[in-house]
Structure formats: structure tokens, C-alpha cells
Amino acid sequence: MSASPVNHHHQQPSGPKEAHRRGGRKPLSCLACRRHKLRCDRKVPCGTCIRYRRETLCRQNPAPPKRGRNARGTHGHKADVCAIDPDAGSEAPDAQSGIAGEPEAPGRGSADRGTARLRVQSSFDRVPGGDEPQKTTAFFLQSLGFDAKTTSIPVSSLPQLLAEVQSAGQPSGLWHMMEGASRRRYWETQLRSALPSRSMCDLLLNYYLDHINWIFQITHVPSFRHRYEEEFWDVAPDRELDFIFAALVFTIISVSALYVPLGAVEIFGCPRESIRDLAHVWHRASHQALLAGDYEARPCVVQLQTFAITQFYWYATNGIGALNSRLGQAVRTAQTLGLDRDVTPSRTLEEEMRHRIWWDLVDSDTFQSICLNRPPLIRLESPGVPLPLNCNDSDITDSFVKPRPHDEPTIMMLNIFRARFFKLMNHHLCHSSAEDARSYEAICKLDDEVLSITKSYPWFFQLDPDGRPPLLPQPLGEILVWQNHIIWTCISTQRIRMYRPFLASRVGSSWTKCIEAAEDAMAVYRSSIRTNRSPTSLQKFLPQAYQIFSVAVTVTALLLVEGSLPIANARQQIRDMADDLRMVEDQGCVSPVASRGRRVLLKMLRLVDMGSEGLGSASGQDEDAEADADADGLVAEIGFIFGGEQAARTYMQRLASRNQRRTSRSMALTTKKQQQQQQQRTATMEEASLPDQQVGDPLERADEGTAYMSSVGAPLQYVGEADPYQMSLDVMDDVVLQNLFNFDMTALMADARYD
């Protein structure tokens, strides 16, 4: 029987030209050390891989034997490889040396590019019962554009591969590339190699638990630490990796890597210029771990925790589209697990964590519904899932829960009141009609319910007249200050959203309610956060960039469109927020929402300044035109905060209308002044030409001039038929004064009073 084409190819001697064509010298390090650019002692496993716990990857892809090594040494080298990788011994020697000898480009692993390569066992090279070229794996691979002796296939090519296999009737041997055990072993090796060192991972984990976890409190710290230490790191070598828990660890360290101080990571051997890029690598590794764990077919609570924490990454990188896509999947998973049907109070750790996760999903879904102007994915029904309990993590064990009184400070109180607020908003969005959103009475009724929640705040969420929360011992005191900022800004910005459609006509007390909400939104930040510049408070500030940006944009839009805001130093407070967002960049953090948000705020403040300086000036027309163009460009940047681009565009159009009316008034005043001057010149010329005659009674001339100078009700006979432009100005002025300038006259008076 003749040899198959792939065997014939393997038997061909490899000359120098072929080696040169492959593009480099034979590597002298194992695959893991080549990827991480570390020194390799060429042992199996090497000392570097033992240090970084990459022994499995080192045994599967070791350094080639040293030159001059005798047969016994070479045999021992291969035995070390086969000790951990059973598949290594079944591969042809040429194929094995080809893998080891292939130069590995930096970042080729799945953790760096999000792709993987699956092995093709050498036993697939011959089709049982035949050796025709058209029926061999090698020939089939060549038809797909791969090398005949390839030992790996990119995952990105699998859809094409599977389609060709189905249409060509290729033998079933290729399907073993998708074999579960081999695939699991491959991804376990790849994900373990993507982990940082144990000390570095501990640093990032502790940073998250100290400075970020308090925002959602979605992780029960004692049980998580136990599992992290005893089931993730200190685990037997033969025990399989829990992919879903690995995804949770990866997303935690990715979020921490966005903000952790650069000097801290250098102590543990990580270059400061690399840690921010590693945040994105670990984010992709987290999703790959979910895929490897088959999270869609086998849903669990841990993957919902992973989603909740990954929200920090999406907010920081402005990945709102990805967040909403994964949100829908998370809601379906929660409903599959029955989280929406847990109606009994918590008695164990598992039950309490299910309640926490469910209400976190409700909060996220309702908030996205408000921001994107879409119906909620979750419709809350009665009696519903109980709210989280007021207890610290130390009060919960596997067998009992010890809740604390309502007036005792705990970290969970923020989540309780946030859940109450979004429960109310969810009911309003799901059960109100379209007319209710345009009904001032309906909005006032909803606002009364919102205010009833704020009035029920415990004493540590109540502010003094200067906007300061109570002082409490550290570290809880610092956390509660930030939680006060979150809960007050969350509710206040929503109150402004509700009353904003009624500001154009100043319906009822809508303007007063907006001023009150704007003051509450900035109170805690102005009085407590900006005055506390401690290092720990700064680390809690960094993940809050989106919250600060959204508050500042909401208040600045009021100041820009309405023309004034009767709050002391309102402009300076907004400018302080914009300056503070600069700290996120100064810390080297990866936060597009902070860098872009700062530019958006500065642009809005510039438009506010232009509106004040251009009032009544000669260059007002050009400045108003420029302001209109800039305001239109802001719509896409602030649409998410306003409840969609359409809502933002509708509100910003009021700025264009105000500028147009102001320009018309300025043009009318200029034209009337010119007419008055022309009248005076005409009268002077007539007096000069008729020195002995009385031109007319002075009172009559004064009445005539007054008629020309009047901005409303000017008789058309004084205008003349030859000046239709002036006629249109007078008609426009009639409309302006009939509407009493809407808010703009009030805005000018308020500017004169407060600015």
C-alpha cells in the first residue's frame, strides 16, 4: 500500500531553504516563556514555569532538547512531557518538533487575541480502509487553504471547516477536534497561563474588595475568599479548573487593573505601562472562561455575579451596547434559575445571595430602561422577591442570617434603598400609560412617592443644612459618605428627568422641583467628597467617574438651556467636577467615559459662557450660530444620560430657539436704532433746507419717532411698503411678547440677580 500524502510529506528531508522560509531560528525556550518573554532553563517543567504555576503548559509545549543530548536524555525529556500530556506521546515526532520549533509571535495565545488553536491528532492523517488523496485529512486541509501537515486549526475557521466537512462527507475523524476532554484541557491550560502570579492576583483582588465591591456588594467576601484560596489556588494538580469561578476571578482582576495605583503593581514585578492593557486581556479571558464552562447550557449564580461585576468595565470603557446585550442574557439566566420566584425571606447564605443578585439585575435593567427609553425586561409582580437584608457579610453563614435593625449602619443599606427606588420606577414604567409621561399631575404623584422614600432614609443617609452626611468611624464612615453621594444623585437626576419636559412652559412648580433636585445632586460631592482628599477616598472616586459625569451633565444642561440656575456657584461646582475627572487620566486609568466626559462638560460650560457674554453684543449672531452647531454635536454624547438621543435633541432644540429669538431681538433693536438715526439726519437736512419755515411741532415729531421705535403694535403705515423685512421683524416681536419670552425673560432676570 502506498504511503499517504501526509506521510510522504513528513518523510521529505527539510533543507535549509525550507527552514529559512519558516521565518526564524529554532526556539530555545518553552512556549510559556516565549509568550511571556522570560528566561527559560529548558528543563521540563522549567524553573520559571514552576514559579508562575504554568507547569502544565510547559510540559505540553516544552523547550527542545539541548544539542548533544544522548538518546537516554532525549527519552527522559519526552517522558516528562508525556507525564502530563497523554496526547503528546501519540503525535508523530516530526509533527511534535514542528510545533516546538515554530516561532511563536507575542500575544498569540487566546488570552491576548481571543482566539484558540485546536490540535489535530496524527491518527487522523490516514483514513481507515483507503489511501486515496481525495479522502485524506491532509488533502482536505489543503483544500481549505491550510498546510497539509498542520497540527492546529484556528477556531475562527471552524464554521467554514464544519460546513465543508458536512458537504464533502469527510470522515468523522475530524470531529475529534471538538472532543470535550481535549478541548477542556486546552482551555484550562490557556486560562491558567493567562493568570498573573499569586501575589499579583491577591493585590488586585484585595483592591476590588476594599474600594469597589461596596457599590453593588454582589460578592459575599468570606465565602468568596475561602473558595478563592482553597479551591482556586491551593488545589490538587489533578483537580479540574472551575471555569465559571475562574471567569469571576478574571473579571474582578480586570476591573481592578483599570484603577489600581501604578506604583503598587511595580512592587509585584508588573511594569506600570502594562497593567492597563492587561485589564482588557483579563476581561476577554473572563468571557472565554464562561464559554469554556458552557455557561449557556449550564447556568449558575456565579455567572450572574460575573455579569454584575463586569458592569464596572463596560461603564468605564463606555461599552453600553455590550452591557445591554449581556444584560438580556443575564435576565433570562436568572429567570431560568428561578430567582424571580423566590418569595420567602432569606434564611441561608445561598438564599440571601440570590436575592441580592436578583435586585441588582432589577436595578440595572430599570436604569437602562430609563436611559435608553425602552420597556424594562423585568416586570415586577406582587408579592415579589424580598429586598436584601440589612446585614454585613459577617452576619451571614451557610446556615443562618442575622439581620440588623433598620437604623444601624451597614454597607448593604445603599442597595436596599436603591432597590426600593428602582422597584417604584419599574412599576411606573410597566404599568403607566403613554399619557402619564406627559401628564404633570401623574409626574407629581410619582414624585411624591419618590420623596416618601427619601423621607424614610435612616439617620446616616440624612444630610445637614450644608449637605453633609453624619460622621462615622472609619472605614465604614468613608464608604457611607460615598453611598450618600450615590443614592442622592441617583434619585435627584431622575427627578430632573421627570420634570424636564414641563420646563418650556413652566408648568406648575416644575422649575422649583428641578432646582431642588439639582441642589441635592451636588450637595454631598461639594460638601464632603471634594473636601476629603485622602488616598483611600481617591481610590473610591476612580470607579465613580460615570456617576459624576452623569450628574454634572444633567445640571449643566439645565444651566445651558434654561439660561440660569439659582444655585450658589453652580458653574464653579460643575467646573470642579470636570477638573476632578482629570484625576482619572492623571492616575493613568483606562476610562473613556472620564476623558470624553470631561471634554463634553468643558464644551457645555463654554456654551454657557458664550450665552452670557453674547447677550446683547454685536457678535451675538455668530456666537449663537456656533453655539447651535456645538449643541447639536452634543446630542450623541449626552443622549444616554437624557433617556435617548431623541430626548436630548428635543431638549437642546430649546437652546437653538432661544438663540434665534435673542438674535431676532438684537437685529430688531439695531434696525430701529438705525432708523432713528436716519430720521434725525432727515430732520436736520429739512431744517437746513427750510431755515425760515417751521418743520413741525416737536411733540408730533416725537410721537412719530416713538411709533418707529415701538417693538410691538407699530402701525404698518409707518413702516412703508418698501421694507418687508422690518415688517417681519415686527410680527416676530409680536409673537415673542405674546409668549412673554417663555422662560427666557425669567432667565435674564435670574442672571441679573444671581450672576
Question: Mean pLDDT throughout 573-581?
Answer: 92
User: Band of the pLDDT at 745, cuts 50, 70, 90?
Assistant: very low
Q: What is the pLDDT of residue 141?
A: 57
**∠76-181-52 over CA atoms, to 5°?**
55
Minimum mean pLDDT range among 142-156, 278-292, 712-726: 712-726
User: Which residue in this structure is represented by grid cell 465565602?
Assistant: 223
More confident residue, 113 or 583: 583
Burial 504-513 (b: 16+ CB within 10 A, else e): beeeeebbeb
pTM tops 0.85: no
SS (H, E, C) 443-508: HHHHHHHHHHHHHCCCHHHCCCCCCCCCCCCCCHHHHHHHHHHHHHHHHHHHHHHHHHHHCCCCCC
More confident residue, 10 or 478: 478
> pLDDT tens digits, residue range 656-674?
666 555 555 555 556 666 6
More confident residue, 479 or 140: 479
Tell me: pLDDT of 104 over 60: no
Q: How many Cβ atoms sit within 10 Å of the Cβ of residue 57? A: 25
More confident residue, 545 or 136: 545
H helix runs in 566-719, sequence order = 570-586, 592-613, 620-642, 645-689, 698-709, 716-719
H helix runs in 195-233, sequence order = 198-211, 221-227
Tell me: pLDDT of 39 over 60: yes
Minimum mean pLDDT range among 201-210, 285-294, 320-329, 619-628: 619-628
Mean model confidence pLDDT for the chain? 76
Tell me: pLDDT of 500 over 80: yes
More confident residue, 338 or 177: 338
Q: Would you say 668 and 729 are in contact if contact means Cβ atoms under 8 Å apart? A: yes
Distance of CA 480 to the CA centre of its chain: 24
Select the highest-mean-pLDDT range: 75-84, 169-178, 367-376.
367-376
Minimum mean pLDDT range among 159-163, 183-187, 583-587, 638-642: 159-163
Cα distance between the two ends of the chain: 97
Question: Mean pLDDT throughout 24-30?
Answer: 77
H-helix or E-strand containing 81? helix 71-84
> pLDDT tens digits, residue range 360-397?
999 999 999 999 889 999 999 888 999 999 999 999 99
Q: What is the pLDDT of residue 72?
A: 44
Tell me: pLDDT of 511 over 70: yes
Tell me: pLDDT of 18 over 70: no
H-helix or E-strand containing 118? strand 117-119
Question: Mean pLDDT throughout 472-485?
Answer: 93
Q: What is the pLDDT of residue 665?
A: 53
User: Band of the pLDDT at 626, cuts 50, 70, 90?
Assistant: low
The percent of residues above 90 in pLDDT, for the chain, comes to 44
Minimum mean pLDDT range among 16-25, 273-282, 564-573, 695-704: 695-704
Burial 27-48 (b: 16+ CB within 10 A, else e): bebbbbbbbbebebebbbbbeb
> pLDDT tens digits, residue range 480-499?
999 999 999 999 999 999 99
| Rounded CA separation 416/565 (Å) | 32
Q: What is the pLDDT of residue 349?
A: 96
More confident residue, 36 or 110: 36
| Length in residues, the chain | 755
Q: What is the pLDDT of residue 250?
A: 97
User: Band of the pLDDT at 265, cuts 50, 70, 90?
Assistant: very high
Q: What is the pLDDT of residue 595?
A: 87
User: Band of the pLDDT at 131, cuts 50, 70, 90?
Assistant: very low
Tell me: pLDDT of 144 over 90: no
Can you give the residue ranges of every domain in the chain? 22-103, 107-194, 196-318, 432-611
Tell me: pLDDT of 6 over 50: no
User: Band of the pLDDT at 279, cuts 50, 70, 90?
Assistant: very high
More confident residue, 307 or 432: 307
The x, y and z cell numbers of residue 83, run together, are 507525564
Question: Mean pLDDT throughout 268-282?
Answer: 93
Tell me: pLDDT of 324 over 80: yes
Q: What is the pLDDT of residue 81?
A: 44
Question: Mean pLDDT throughout 512-537?
Answer: 91
- DSSP summary character for residue 398: S
User: Band of the pLDDT at 309, cuts 50, 70, 90?
Assistant: very high
Q: What is the pLDDT of residue 69?
A: 47
| Rounded CA separation 675/682 (Å) | 10
